[in-house]
Structure 1
Amino acid sequence: MASTNRRGALSGGAQPILVLPEKTIRQRGKDAQRSNISAARVVSQAVRTTLGPRGRDKMLVDDLGDVIISNDGATILDEMDLEHPAAKMIVEVAETQDDEVGDGTTTAVIIAGELLKEAEDLLDQNIHSSLIAAGYDMAAEKAPEILESIAEKIDFDDDEKLKRVAMTAMTGKGAESASKKLADLAVKAVKNVAEKSDAEYEVDTDNIGVEKQEGESLEDSFLVEGIIIDKERVHPGMPRLVKNAKIALINKSLEIEKTETDSEIRITDPDQLKSFMDHEENTLKEMVDKIADTGANVVICQKGIDDMVQHFLSKRDIFAIRRAKKSDMKKLSKATGGKIVTNVDDLTSEDLGEAGVVEERKISGEEMTFIEECKEPKAVSILIRGGTEHVVDEAERSVDDAIRVVAAAIESGKIVAGGGASEIELALRLREYADKVGGREALAIGGFANAIETVVRTLAENAGLDPIDVLVDLRSKHESDGKNMGIDVYEGEVVDMMEENVIEPLQVKTQAMKSGIEAAKMILRIDDVIAAGKKETPSMPEGGPGASGGMPGGMPGGMPGGMA
């Protein structure tokens, strides 16, 4: 509820002091807390039905009529046009989760929303928000320890388990029908770019390019041990196929440089004009000769290539692409071993990259350049095929998730059971911890455990199962049969998730909790919301600017800006 923004006492007939502008909206105390909690929970509820193998999709239509169909939490929230600041903070949870590990965005948002719901119940019991936040802090500190204790190791060479990690990430998404094929591509791609340092591996997923093209089916997607560039050669006279390619990577336009200052050339007869043009042509030819002398038969240029240079390159049977993206240039350098040069004069044979094949191919009517058969490439590409634009878009998001989770599993070397197994085990152990802590903070820790269990409850609801029966059964099995018991949403039974190969990286779980709890605590601590009133745009007089006799902007007649 908005309260007045006039503050201050009257003294000797003095007027009230205006502290805030007239149209400022202000909410304080429990009103502010409940408003923020409600807004955050609305966002959480919006993506809740997308969780799990039986999750549903959302259709998002923007103001231009463009359609996105997805059940990826980060994509859905990114496309939603939200106004409330607390709701935007929940979207940041999904963005953080997506940036860090690439998967678990829906889980993180659900946890954040449920933590706020539990906090609201505790506020109704007159427990102060500071005590709730303190309890949440204690739970957040304990949770990673518990997850670490139930995690299992995964080996870099265990391709089968890594594929299962990728398939788990793709389960329930649009690309699930081809999950085996796409998971295999994701694992191969990640292992290609992984670099070992001491006993650990580092994976820069930016070195994996994902291109998409409609046509054929998802099963026809493939990995290129090199780079795919969505460009065609600049001149039809150039060879379409180059074998044993020597590749020059140039970060400079191949054309006559313009002078920094304006200049003028006075020509008095045709011979002078011809001489000038011949000189320019010779300069461009010398540029091509320098490139050819290094042994290069392929040129990838980040900037423009002059028409005359294109002609000379084609005469030398050199394949060339212009205006390649900066990110593609970096990937090419890693894939081919070439060095990006900024001056043709500095180019040497040692700077050239190598590839077995460089070829321009037509894929679904679009020309694309494939640079493949690279020796030990540290950058690779995946080309995703599919029947429609929406199919390949969703498959691209699924493959991106798969790549990120495989990378997370390799980097951390730890995995946990999926299907709600790790959440139930965590909730049980947190309740034991709460009993030891005691006090009002213990209630907040118990609320944290309830919020974590909501992930399992949601999995069951989305599969059409009774969530109460599922939770009771899972708790019982965890106390008797172990930490890996989860819900098989297809059969409605409690089974060992590790045996069923439903596996997730430890990093996805820990990050989901960190992101969710930090956002929940931040929203919970807010007890005063001051929102400025929207500024009104001054109305335009009839007849357009200046119709009233003054200058545009409402200035009086005379000089612009009211100057006399």
Structure 2
Amino acid sequence: MIRPQAAPVVVLRQNTKREQGRKAQLANIQAGKTIADIVRTTLGPKSMLKMLLDPMGGIVMTNDGNAILREVDVAHPAAKSMIELSRSQDEEVGDGTTSVVVLAGEMLAVAEPFLERNMHPTIIVAGYIQALDDALKILSEIATPIDASDDKRLTEIVHTCIDTKFSARWGNMISDLAVKAAKCVTIELPNGKKEIDIKRYAKVEKIPGGDFDECAVLNGVMLNKDVTHPKMRRIIKNPKVVLLDCNLEYKKGESQTNVEVMKEEDWEALLKEEEEEIQKMCNDIINVGADLVFTEKGVSDLAQHFLMKKNISVIRRVRKTDNNRLARVTGAHIVNRTDELTADNVGTLARLFKIDKIGDEYYCYITECDNPKACTILMRGASKDVLNEIERNLQDALNVARNVLVESKLLPGGGATEMEIAARLNEKAKSIEGIKQWPYKAVAVGLEVIPRTLAQNCGADVVRTITDLRSRHALAGEGRFWGIDGNTGKVVNVEQAGIWDAYAVKQQVIKTAIEAAAMILRIDDVVSGIGKKGGAGGGAPRGGAAPDDQVEAFGDSRDG
């Protein structure tokens, strides 16, 4: 467990508060550097794997920064905020989770000498924010626009971005799947922008067993479901699909509802009423000419009987998310009550419905759809562990494809972008007056951590490599394309080597890392509202304040 440096209970008096502020800042920087060190070796194609033990005793082996930090147990609040960076980066753009933590840790580390020389954090933060604004302008200047409609080019870009992952040994297969899936769920909005919701509409279905070559993007949706009655049809061509969000059962009374039946005829009347109610529901479905019904709720035996007689297949207890995907691929509308069903609500875009048995499980396929805006990615592999790691890589690939389709710009990879920004910031720093120039220059030094870490992880001579890169980027013109080949550790022209980064990811990494470092540097005290004795409030006697207005800081030496 990562804990902050031991510090005594803080007494908020004027003569000690300033000292505590410096201690808090240095402790936060130390916590940030520690978190960055955890994932530093997982950057680049020659990265190391981490073995994670979860609380249930399970083992996960991965080099995905977000997956690693999710399992780390930390007590220090600054360390927790560093881990949150990785999570927010993953949610925003889905890639660069390791880079953002490494870069934020380095931005904190380069600020440490300024704090030790008593430079005020406000001045350091002002230098950082000015450097961030200039860095984002430089990013847009060196970006290379691409044609997002070229599938071959897109696949190459995605493969470049996930080349560091476990799945790289299978060539372009993961990249092909990601590009197909991302293009499938793309919707063109009226304002010219694109909406690509891969989390909701591109579902990964993992089935252990089979060969990796059997992985495919299905032109429709696949569910782990079977028809409710064995006599219902398991193959339907050109099905008319109805999607429901209601029970096909007799509505039971509220709780504590009792019915007393005195005569046999009364019992028969009750059963008849129930049968009529279900018959009415089924007639609503039959009248719109449906062949296939999906419902999110239950289906009674009686309803199954009525629908089966009319040759209608039923699948029940479908997840809400799966129902939304079905709506997209079939063109059907989800209906909340059967009496609201009309012919317009029936989906007719799918060309085939079939049930297949894989292993011991039954799977339902709705495929051969006309222009589906949702899809299922079928993953086959030797074991669950391999499938789980490949799924993590596929999610990264999907995010890269989405980012490139939304923002069709690329940046030089292999640390070339960071070195170019660092060279230009160093040049621009000469025109900045006052002591703010030093934190501004420190951002340029901090950005070099990415190429430096890449060189370290593939065993290159770090000092020579970084010196060579600095000299090449100091030249104006084509110097911006010089970076590090993460496999060999040599300085190469990344444009010719085909090493690229997505613009949206790099922009988010730099913005998040510098802003987070600036925020952490402005913290001058970490105060806990949890006392040692007597719960919240620091254990003060009832009706009186704690002696000397004592409050407790994180990292008390008694924490153990």
Pick aligned residue for 1:154 from 140, 146, 169? 146
Matches within 5 A, 1:506-517: 506-517=503-514
The CA distance in 1 between the partners of 2:471 and 2:329, in whole Å, is 52
**Contact 2:458–2:486 under 8 Å retained in 1:** yes
- Counterpart of 1:210, as a letter, is V
- Counterpart of 1:527, as a letter, is D
Distance 1:33 1:157, change over 3 A: same
**Contact 2:187–2:194 under 8 Å retained in 1:** yes
Matches within 5 A, 1:303-318: 303-318=297-312
**Contact 2:460–2:490 under 8 Å retained in 1:** no
The CA distance in 1 between the partners of 2:378 and 2:533, in whole Å, is 50
The CA distance in 2 between the partners of 1:7 and 1:119, in whole Å, is 26
What stretches of structure 2 of length at least 5 have no aligned partner? 1-5, 536-560
Matches within 5 A, 1:132-143: 132-143=124-135
Distance 1:319 1:496, change over 3 A: farther
Aligned to 2:479: 482
Aligned to 1:243: 237
Aligned to 1:204: 197
Aligned to 2:274: 280
The CA distance in 2 between the partners of 1:465 and 1:347, in whole Å, is 67
Does residue 450 of structure 2 align to residue 455 of structure 1? yes
The CA distance in 1 between the partners of 2:515 and 2:99, in whole Å, is 14
Distance 1:99 1:264, change over 3 A: same
Pick aligned residue for 2:496 from 496, 499, 502? 499
Distance 1:142 1:364, change over 3 A: farther
Offset of 1:443 from its aligned partner? Answer: 1.2
The percent identity for this pair of structures is 38
- Counterpart of 2:112, as a letter, is E
* Partner SS for 1:82: coil
Offset of 1:532 from its aligned partner? Answer: 3.7
The CA distance in 2 between the partners of 1:151 and 1:81, in whole Å, is 38
Offset of 1:146 from its aligned partner? Answer: 0.4
**Contact 2:95–2:505 under 8 Å retained in 1:** yes
Offset of 1:508 from its aligned partner? Answer: 0.3
Does residue 81 of structure 2 align to residue 89 of structure 1? yes
TM-score for the superposition, normalised by structure 2: 0.89
The CA distance in 2 between the partners of 1:329 and 1:534, in whole Å, is 49
Pick aligned residue for 2:47 from 43, 52, 55? 55
Aligned to 2:432: 437
The CA distance in 2 between the partners of 1:318 and 1:26, in whole Å, is 77
Matches within 5 A, 1:20-419: 28-197=20-189, 198-205=191-198, 206-260=200-254, 262-354=256-348, 355-419=350-414
TM-score for the superposition, normalised by structure 1: 0.88
CA deviation digits over 1:502-553, x for unaligned, max 9? 2221010010011111211111111111124456699xxxxxxxxxxxxxxx
- Counterpart of 2:196, as a letter, is V
Distance 1:4 1:200, change over 3 A: closer
Runs of 4+ with >6 A deviation: none
Aligned to 2:553: none
Aligned to 1:560: none
CA deviation digits over 1:468-491, x for unaligned, max 9? 122122223334543122211223
* Partner SS for 2:247: coil
CA deviation digits over 1:148-172, x for unaligned, max 9? 1000111121212211222123222
The CA distance in 2 between the partners of 1:125 and 1:5, in whole Å, is 23
* Partner SS for 1:498: helix
- Counterpart of 1:81, as a letter, is D
Aligned to 2:541: none
The CA distance in 1 between the partners of 2:215 and 2:324, in whole Å, is 24
Distance 1:218 1:26, change over 3 A: farther
- Counterpart of 1:333, as a letter, is A
* Partner SS for 2:385: helix
**Contact 1:296–1:349 under 8 Å retained in 2:** no
The CA distance in 1 between the partners of 2:311 and 2:421, in whole Å, is 64
Aligned to 1:550: none
Aligned to 1:14: none
Offset of 1:27 from its aligned partner? Answer: 8.5
**Contact 2:412–2:481 under 8 Å retained in 1:** yes
**Contact 1:175–1:218 under 8 Å retained in 2:** no
Distance 1:27 1:283, change over 3 A: farther
The CA distance in 2 between the partners of 1:311 and 1:46, in whole Å, is 60
What stretches of structure 1 of length at least 5 have no aligned partner? 10-24, 539-564
The CA distance in 1 between the partners of 2:284 and 2:303, in whole Å, is 12
Offset of 1:285 from its aligned partner? Answer: 2.7
**Contact 2:25–2:523 under 8 Å retained in 1:** yes
CA deviation digits over 1:252-271, x for unaligned, max 9? 11111123464332222223
**Contact 1:231–1:367 under 8 Å retained in 2:** yes
Aligned to 1:547: none
- Counterpart of 1:484, as a letter, is F
Distance 1:318 1:80, change over 3 A: farther
Aligned to 2:546: none
**Contact 2:239–2:351 under 8 Å retained in 1:** yes
The CA distance in 2 between the partners of 1:110 and 1:324, in whole Å, is 42
The CA distance in 2 between the partners of 1:445 and 1:156, in whole Å, is 36
Offset of 1:360 from its aligned partner? Answer: 2.0
CA deviation digits over 1:82-116, x for unaligned, max 9? 21110110011111111111000100111110000
Distance 1:26 1:529, change over 3 A: farther
